Amino acid sequence: MITLLLDLLRILPFLFGGHRQLALENLALRQQLAAYKRTVPRPKLCTTDRLLWVGLARVWAGWRQALIIVSPDTVLRWQRRRFREYWTKLSARPTGGRPTVDTELKALITRMASANPLWGAPRIHGELMKLGFNVAERTVSRLMPRRRSPPSQAWRTFLDNHVRDLVALDFFTVPTAGLRVLFVLVVLAHHRRRVVHFNVTEHPTAHWTAQQIIDAFQDDSAPCYLLRDRDQIYGEHFRRRMKGMNIEEVVIARHSPWQNPFAERLIGSIRRECLNHVLVPGERHLRRVLVRYFAYYHRARTHLSLAKDAPEARPVELASAGRIVQLPEVGGLHHRYQRQAA
């Protein structure tokens, strides 16, 4: 009843405005639609109905007032869905694609490549053309089995071959409690992973670095190869000293610390196992801490690369040697375990 009264109020202007016939027809249609809505909870609309209302919404400003079966938001949703489906269809990948290659042809290409190792894709493609196969040369190249070239000597192979004659050196920095930065130079022998020499300074120079190598290798004990990075600290004076000691420098590539792996691993171990847990007041304290750590590193710490032995080989102690005792190392950061007689 309320709906009918609202419809009458809407058509009153038309009844007295010269459109009586149109107003009465509009009223009759609205009453029938209201009755239809009472009998059918949700009428089903087809694609044509949706397109009609989408089109009306674009050309008629008052389309919202004429809606009865659906809401304006529904029409706008239809429009958005239509827009999305249209552009999804345009941007979809083409469904054609290249034609599939016959299994027999694949097997023939593999057989030709295996029987003729000197043939490339152009040669095999030419043979296939003479046999009546219509296939592209790029397809032949893609279907040919990959041939591995003879492996060249890798960087790791060089390190393994010269493990007894190779020494690596590198710098790392340590901040102090007084906001200073100290530089630590470590010289590592690849064989048995021994730290041959280390020193600490606040102002490293090429002359100071060269002197450390001289102090590390006295009495004609210099190695054949010295592995280092491209730091500017290794200047002309350093290179002359190395040449005078008959040491061949092996310089790693730029931004490639992985080519100096043992020195980088050593520095990481020093940080993780020692310096990250110590507050360093100054240079003397840092030297004392590193001396203690390297003593533990050489005598007690086991290494995976040494079959879980220490750089200074540790004997296997049998149970008959006595009970197990715990000895503190590096100020109690680590411990060494050994057997002692009761």
Same domain as 180, residue 59: no
Radius of gyration of the chain (CA): 43
Same domain as 32, residue 5: yes
Model confidence at 289, pLDDT cuts 50, 70, 90, reads very high
In a domain, 318, yes or no: no
Model confidence at 146, pLDDT cuts 50, 70, 90, reads confident
Residue 59's domain comprises 47-89
Task: Give the SS3 label for residue 112.
Answer: helix
In a domain, 208, yes or no: yes
Residue 319 predicted with pLDDT over 80: yes
* pLDDT reported for residue 25: 64
Closest CA to 297 of 333, 244, 259: 333
In a domain, 320, yes or no: no
In a domain, 267, yes or no: yes
CB 69 within 8 A of CB 46: no
Tokens 């390297």 found at: 294
Residue predicted with more confidence, 88 or 279: 279
Other beta carbons within 10 Å of 318: 8
Model confidence at 242, pLDDT cuts 50, 70, 90, reads very high
CATH code of the domain in which 299 resides: 3.30.420.10
Q: pLDDT digit string (tens) for 32-42? A: 666 666 666 66
Checking 259-266 for CB contacts under 8 A at 24+ apart, the result is 259/155, 260/168, 260/170, 260/227, 260/228, 260/229, 261/159, 262/159, 262/168, 262/188, 262/190, 262/193, 263/168, 263/169, 263/170, 263/186, 263/188, 263/227, 264/170, 266/186, 266/188, 266/193, 266/195
* Total of domains in the chain: 4
Same domain as 234, residue 168: yes
Q: What is the mean pLDDT of residues 123-128?
A: 88
Same domain as 202, residue 125: no
In a domain, 173, yes or no: yes
Q: pLDDT digit string (tens) for 44-103? A: 667 777 777 677 677 666 667 666 666 777 777 777 887 788 778 877 766 666 778 888
Instruction: List % helix, strand, coil for the chain (3-state, nearest 5).
Output: 50, 15, 35
Model pTM score: 0.56
In a domain, 332, yes or no: no
In a domain, 321, yes or no: no
